[in-house]
Amino acid sequence: MDTAQASAVSNQTITFRIWRQDDPSKPGHYDEFKVPYRKGANVISCLMEIQRNPVTSDGKKVPPVVWDAACLEEVCGSCAMNINGRVRMACSALIDKLEQPITLEPMTKFPVVRDLAVDRNRMFEALKRVKGWVPIDGTHNLGPGPRQSPVDQSTMYVLSTCITCGSCLEACPQVTIDNSFVGAAAISQARLFNMNPTGKMNAEERVRALMGPGGLSDCGKAQNCVKVCPKEIPLTTSIAMMNREVTKVVIKDLFSKEEERKSHGGPG
């Protein structure tokens, strides 16, 4: 690269249109910012640049942009946002691969806290609903746990990589900000813990938790979730597997009711 080319690159800027909202009760608007172009930069590094000097393109000094981030390596899941109309992780979104102006908006299926930061509490409530954990009796040494097959272990590992980013809920047309659908992440986590040799003792509880309102029956099979998952978790496979488990429980309940009817002298 000669001197003229280097100078041209150094003078380049990247334009961002960023959604600003002080709190959920106030109307929002877009602010436009320009940041110096740096090859290989991601969206988070550009947000940091804006944070250092929050001055809009027309020279107006504004409060720093608020967003969520922690690990900066697509592990924590906190920096998920809508980038140019598509939900993705801001830490792995490279500006060289994005059209300008780059538009940043908060996810729409979660209440806005401020600017790009949202409240993902509904995801954690969904995990509580499906008992997304393995209960143990105390913290003392219980000895070696049940053995796991290599096949199950490899499947469970992939399911365990969920980072609770919320991308699957954001892309799902069945999820709205005011409904109770648990979404693909919780369904997949129910499958994960039902596969665990120790977690299996609560398997039916998890399945029954998915049988009520907001459970599997609310899934419209759009398959958007699996397309946007940053960890490429087979979410649609998990949904299908848990649907199968729900069917088993439904059939079990039907037979139980029939046996109960017969035991009370009903017609055979």
Domains and CATH numbers, the chain: 3-118 (3.10.20.30), 121-261 (1.10.1060.10)
Contacts 24+ apart (CB under 8 A), 30-37: 30/103, 31/56, 31/62, 31/65, 32/56, 32/57, 32/58, 32/101, 33/57, 36/10, 36/12, 37/9, 37/12, 37/13, 37/95
Q: Are 54 and 61 in contact (CB under 8 A)?
A: yes
Give pLDDT tens digits for 220-261. 999 999 999 999 999 999 999 999 999 999 999 998 877 777
Taking only the tens place, the pLDDT of each residue in 176-194 is 999 999 999 999 999 999 9
Residue 34 pLDDT exceeds 80: yes
- What pLDDT is recorded for position 262? 74
Pairing of strands 29-36, 102-105: unpaired
DSSP H or E run through 13: strand 13-20
Is residue 23 exposed (0-12), middle (13-18) or buried (19+ Cβ within 10 Å)? exposed
**What pLDDT is stored for residue 267 in this prediction?**
58
- 186 close to 207: Cβ distance less than 8 angstroms: no
DSSP 40: T
213: number of Cβ within 10 Å:
9
